[in-house]
Chains A and B, each alone.
Chain A
């Protein structure tokens, strides 16, 4: 089983603050995805990163894939209450018959107005 460790597990911040959440593994992934999940709903894809060192931006969210493709980070600038939710990273391994994403346990973010 390929493990993905996410930190922190919980994060509560004031509106307007910046934050970073991390996703780390000892394994190399061919790609890594970030999802956001709101209460009572399924996860929704935010971004996929594929190339080591890749940086992608989605409005106030910045995603980075580590050079060795073992880790990733999500940085949110000027957090807003609408950013509240569970952030999940998921890594994909290539290989014969491998069609599985491995999910981390998630970071539960609360942004207080």
Chain B
């Protein structure tokens, strides 16, 4: 009964390095999301996907890329890490979102520091 699993849980990067944050869900949800959470700022949507092969930008997509080759996986890529990308990153999934009634299920987050 894993739900949404994110790896790694913690990571420290140097400026200019790249990395991929992994997210996988075992609930057969079509919709998946990436958020970042900064202190006192709530959750901001980075990218989302409504199904395999389909992705779209959210509110704060600059500096990030995503792919969705399978229903289960939705990795987030940082190509050139910058200090402004220091944050806690959450992946979430939902069965659908057409009516707004479906809950989003969140992973436990990846805490990323860029130094």
User: Given A44-B106, A45-B104, A94-B100, A103 and B58 touching (CB < 8 A)?
Assistant: no
Give B84-115 as 1s and 0s: 1 = Cβ < 8 Å from A's Cβ atoms: 00000010100001011101111111000000
Q: Is A27 an interface residue (CB 8 A)?
A: no
Q: Chain B, interface size: which category?
A: 20 to 34
Main SS class of interface, A = loop
Which chain A residues lie closer than 8 Å to B44 at the CB level? Answer: 103
Contact A92 B107 (CB under 8 A): no
Contact A42 B42 (CB under 8 A): no
Q: Which A residues lie within 8 Å of B21 (CB)?
A: none
- Output the least CB separation between A40 and chain B (Å): 7
**Contact in complex: B40, A101 (CB < 8 Å):** no
- A4: nearest residue on chain B (CB-CB)? B42
Contact partners of A30 in chain B: CB under 8 A = 99-100
* Interface residue count on the A side (C-beta < 8 Å): 27
Query: Would you call B48 and A43 a contact (CB within 8 A)?
Result: no
Whether the Cβ atoms of B42 and A106 lie closer than 8 Å is: yes
Say whether A9 faces chain B, with CB atoms less than 8 Å apart: yes
| Cβ-defined contact, A99 with B31, below 8 A | yes
| Partner of A42 from B4, B41, B48 at Cβ < 8 Å | B4
A residues at B contact (CB < 8 Å): 1, 9, 29-31, 33, 40-45, 48, 50, 88, 90, 92-94, 97, 99-101, 103-106
